[in-house]
Amino acid sequence: MAPKGLIFLAVLSFSALSLLTPSLAEEGQDNGLVMNFYKETCPQAEDIIKEQVKLLYKRHKNTAFSWLRNIFHDCAVQSCDASLLLDSTRRSLSEKETDRSFGLRNFRYIETIKEAVERECPGVVSCADILVLSARDGIVSLGGPHIPLKTGRRDGRRSRADVVEEFLPDHNESISSVLDKFGAMGIDTPGVVALLGAHSVGRTHCVKLVHRLYPEIDSALNPDHVPHMLKKCPDAIPDPKAVQYVRNDRGTPMILDNNYYRNILDNKGLLIVDHQLANDKRTKPYVKKMAKSQDYFFKEFSRAIALLFENNPLTGTKGEIRKQCNVANKHHEEP
């Protein structure tokens, strides 16, 4: 057995070495994301993104909704790697062109933000981190909480269109399936309830909800809310090119708040998943709690957003830093 003095010296030496040697996380290596990843390589990155989000929001209010929905569609499909942004090529379909991406928009403004960051720090900040940070700042624009987020993501090189249906939770699925898909990302039941609170803002296209109105009105809908829905969605088969929609929350449509939970408890949710959330025994207690407390909603929403945005990122030497967000570098460099 080694003398106690030698053991103490060994432990002390190891501790001193740990203090003097930067951790892999601090150096942005393969072990994951860190706070302020760009503090040495592009210290202005987060401020530039925040300013661009503010400017775009002043000109186009719907950009904040887009940032939030786009990042959900990106991170929920295997990885937060900005694969959503890639255009179709001769060999692969873009995720943007799948049926599940109907209504996604404002991708060109992500390029606007990317160009602003590139002017300051060429080839340093990933499109994946720009997606995440623009969503965070968009949440603030909508009156939601500021959420501290780690960075250091890198960009994927391929579309994940072939697995969108497998991984992306759908508003017409059973609540069990929705809970399972989010659970696979490490998000628990109160976290799922909080994330769906994003339905507090934005709008739902008629094509997504007419099955609740035609040929018969869903008896679960609040009858006082039905006339408004019918007025906004007068056709059983809406023209997909027409801009026909219903605001998710008629009371505070531009504010991320807990009014959503009061609405769905009053059977005014537009989507099947909204109705299930308010009535399933696993989720209803949290719906009621969030309806009573916006602080609780924001707390759980912030926690769940951080988990969603850290879903299986590419870090270290994996992936790449795209020059242009809609094209992988190998295609970008082709003549």
The 3 state secondary structure assigned to 141-159 is: HCCCCCCCCCECCEECCCC
> Is 199 a member of any domain?
yes
Residues 200 and 155 in one domain: no
| Domain at 212, CATH number | 1.10.420.10
HSE-up (13 A, CA, CB side) for residue 40: 6
Residues 90 and 210 in one domain: no
Query: What percentage of the chain reaches a pLDDT higher than 70?
Result: 89
- Provide the angle, in degrees to the nearest 10, between the axes of the packed helices 284-292 and 294-309: 120
Which tops the pLDDT comparison, 100 or 315?
315
Per-residue pLDDT tens over the stretch 238-248: 987 788 999 99
Gap between the Cα atoms of 65 and 256, Å rounded: 10
Known binding residues for substrate are: 169
Residues 81 and 185 in one domain: no
38 to 43, 85, 258, 315, 316: CA distances (angstroms): 6, 22, 34, 13, 13
Residues 161 and 185 in one domain: no
Please, which pLDDT band fits residue 95 given cuts at 50, 70 and 90?
A: very high
Known binding residues are: 74, 77, 81, 83, 95, 169, 199, 249, 252, 257
Residues 267 and 155 in one domain: no
* Bond before 215 cis per omega within 30 degrees: yes
Residues 157 and 257 in one domain: no
118 to 102, 112, 124, 136, 271: CA distances (angstroms): 29, 10, 8, 20, 40
Here the contacts of 40-48 (C-beta below 8 Å, separation 24 or greater) are 41/121, 41/124, 42/117, 42/120, 42/121, 42/124, 42/125, 44/120, 44/121, 45/117, 45/120, 45/121, 45/124, 45/125, 45/129, 46/133, 46/151, 48/113, 48/116, 48/117, 48/120
Please, which pLDDT band fits residue 332 given cuts at 50, 70 and 90?
A: low
> Is 227 a member of any domain?
yes
Q: Which of 135, 165, 195 is the last residue of a domain?
A: 165
| 27-41, 120-134, 160-174 — most confident range | 120-134
Residues 87 and 218 in one domain: no
Known binding residues for heme b are: 199
Instruction: Report which secondary-structure segment, H or E, holds 68.
Output: helix 63-75
> Is 63 a member of any domain?
yes
Enumerate residues 6+ apart whose C-beta is below 8 A from 177: 169, 170
pLDDT for residue 134 is more than 60: yes
Per-residue pLDDT tens over the stretch 29-83: 344 899 999 999 999 999 999 999 999 999 998 899 899 999 999 999 999 999 9
Per-residue pLDDT tens over the stretch 226-242: 999 999 999 999 987 78
Q: What's residue 8's pLDDT?
A: 38
Q: Which of 146, 165, 184 is the last residue of a domain?
A: 165
Enumerate residues 6+ apart whose C-beta is below 8 A from 208: 102, 103, 171, 270, 271
Per-residue pLDDT tens over the stretch 245-278: 999 999 999 999 999 999 999 999 999 999 999 9
> Is 314 a member of any domain?
no
Q: What's residue 153's pLDDT?
A: 98
**b/e code 198-230 from CB counts within 10 Å (16+ = b):** bbbbbbbbbbbbbebbeeeeeeebeeebeeebe
Q: What's residue 117's pLDDT?
A: 98
- The angle subtended at Cα 84 by Cα 82 and Cα 34, nearest 5°, is 20
Known binding residues for Ca(2+) are: 74, 77, 81, 83, 95, 249, 252, 257
Gap between the Cα atoms of 216 and 238, Å rounded: 16
Q: What is the mean pLDDT of the chain?
A: 89
Residues 96 and 188 in one domain: no
Range of the domain at 293: 169-308
DSSP one-letter string for 236-278: SS--TTS--EEES-SSSTTS-STHHHHHHHTT--SSHHHHHHH
Q: What's residue 105's pLDDT?
A: 84
Residues 44 and 113 in one domain: yes
- Look at 26-30, 107-111, 191-195 and tell me which has the smallest mean pLDDT: 26-30
Residues 204 and 110 in one domain: no
**Can you tell me whether residue 12 is helix, strand or coil?**
helix
- Look at 20-29, 86-95, 211-220, 311-320 and tell me which has the smallest mean pLDDT: 20-29
Q: Which of 136, 165, 194 is the last residue of a domain?
A: 165
Residue of 73, 146, 171, 225 marked active site: 73
Is residue 228 part of the annotated active site? The answer reads no
Q: What's residue 17's pLDDT?
A: 36
Q: Burial level of 119, CB count in 10 A (0-12/13-18/19+)? A: exposed
Count of residues making up the chain: 335
Please, which pLDDT band fits residue 139 given cuts at 50, 70 and 90?
A: very high
Over residues 114-133, the mean pLDDT reads 98
Q: What's residue 40's pLDDT?
A: 97
Residues 95 and 183 in one domain: no
> Is 95 a member of any domain?
yes
Q: What's residue 331's pLDDT?
A: 61
> Is 335 a member of any domain?
no
Over residues 131-139, the mean pLDDT reads 97
Check: CB of residue 96 under 8 Å from CB of residue 117: no
| Structural domains of the chain, count | 2
Residues 183 and 144 in one domain: no
| Domain at 99, CATH number | 1.10.520.10
> Is 191 a member of any domain?
yes
- Look at 12-26, 37-51, 144-158, 310-324 and tell me which has the smallest mean pLDDT: 12-26
> Is 177 a member of any domain?
yes
pLDDT for residue 333 is more than 80: no
Please, which pLDDT band fits residue 27 given cuts at 50, 70 and 90?
A: very low
Alpha carbon distance, N-terminus to C-terminus of the chain = 68
